[in-house]
Amino acid sequence: MRKNSNLTFHDLYKTNNDDKFDIISGLLNKNQKRISPKYFYDEVGSSLFDKITNLKDYYPTKKEIEILEDQNKEFFKILPASSSVIEFGSGSNKKIKRFLKALNNPYEYIPIDISRNFLLKNARKFAKDFPKLKVKAICADFDQTHELSKIIDNDKSKIGFFPGSTIGNYIPGEAKKLLKKFSKVLEKDNFLVVGVDLKKNIKLIEKAYNDSTGLTAKFNKNILNGINKICGPIFEENNFSHKAFFNNEKSRIEMHLVSKKNQTINICEKKINFKVGETIHTENSYKYSTESFTKLVESSGYKIIKVLKDKKSFFAVFFLKVKYS
């Protein structure tokens, strides 16, 4: 643990054999090679994604901020005062600053992220900008619920914050498991505020993930550099190209890396062959209706308190209360 004025930093995340096993298992999948999107978010990936959120065609961030700014009185009214605010996957500070300002005298801010350097950089800046607020930054994986609970434990009400429609990166079954992990950290009768990208025109959705600047392509390919840091120098990112499309049947954007040639990689004494045109599935982004997301959270142990939408109903913010943990 490191301490600096109103900031404390807890480093719980360790790259280990579980990560290697997870990566190898995904790449050996006979139906579809895949890599978990959590490996996007090294320092470079986090910085690239932050830039993506500023692009003209990337609407989710703009619409979520619109809700935070235009309907901030609802946050003040619904959520408890003097609470510990826990941000799951902290990223940049642009949303959380607006969120905290909408609350009634928050007690402390607890950002959780696996990107150590990016987290620490943003936490330091945040602690400087909010000198009267306790900031407790935790570098950890969401699976580390027991360790997280020990650090977060206090007598204050808890408000979880999970913006950006990150919940859409998980297939519904995994999203349900994740929400249950959050409930263990938050505990019964506390709150979770979740950003959700809603169903809309497919062309508009696809455009957000295929920007003309090439930033999203760069972000997608950077996951290979993240894998190289864990497993050794096995991938050449220039041997793959970016592909993103909307899968209408599953109501999700899919991001893939397409092999440009026949190639073989060696990873932890395993040989993995790629044919030209074969893909690695790197990310999903599910688009929900209000009804389908309601069904998901209610089956995960939460009660819906309120749903806010932007003016065009592109995006929604759900206020949830933990029924059981």
Tell me whether residue 193 is in a domain: yes
Reference 300, options 106, 170, 197, 116; nearest CA is: 170
Instruction: Give yes or no for a contact between 38 and 114, defined as CB atoms under 8 angstroms apart.
Output: yes
Q: Could you tell me which residues come within 8 angstroms of residue 110 by beta carbon, excluding any fewer than 6 positions away?
A: 84, 85, 86, 87, 135, 136, 137, 138, 152
Angle between helices 172-186 and 290-298 in degrees, nearest 10: 50
Tell me whether residue 61 is in a domain: yes
Strands 270-274 and 263-267, by their bridges, are: antiparallel
**Domain of residue 295, CATH code:** 3.40.50.150
Amino acid sitting at position 93 = N
Instruction: Give yes or no for a contact between 119 and 111, defined as CB atoms under 8 angstroms apart.
Output: yes
Query: For tokens 């997301």, what's the residue?
Result: 293
Residue 63's SS3 state is helix
Instruction: Give yes or no for a contact between 302 and 179, defined as CB atoms under 8 angstroms apart.
Output: yes
Tell me whether residue 119 is in a domain: yes
Provide the residue-wise pLDDT of the chain in tens; the chain has 325 residues: 666 689 999 999 876 678 899 999 999 999 999 999 989 988 899 899 999 999 999 999 999 999 999 999 999 999 999 999 999 998 778 899 999 999 999 999 999 998 888 899 999 999 999 999 999 999 998 888 888 988 987 789 999 999 999 999 999 999 999 999 999 999 999 999 999 999 999 999 999 999 999 999 999 999 999 999 999 999 999 999 999 999 999 999 999 999 999 999 999 889 999 999 999 999 999 999 999 999 999 999 999 999 999 999 999 999 999 998 7
**210: enclosing H helix or E strand:** none
Residue 272's SS3 state is strand
Give the domain extent around 85: 2-14+44-201+287-322
* 288 bridge partner residues: 198
Tell me whether residue 304 is in a domain: yes
Tell me whether residue 262 is in a domain: no
Instruction: Give yes or no for a contact between 93 and 122, defined as CB atoms under 8 angstroms apart.
Output: yes
Could you give the number of structural domains in the chain? Answer: 1
Strands 252-259 and 33-34, by their bridges, are: unpaired
Tell me whether residue 243 is in a domain: no
Q: Cα–Cα distances in Å, from 203 out to 51, 175, 247? A: 22, 25, 12
Tell me whether residue 22 is in a domain: no
Tell me whether residue 226 is in a domain: no
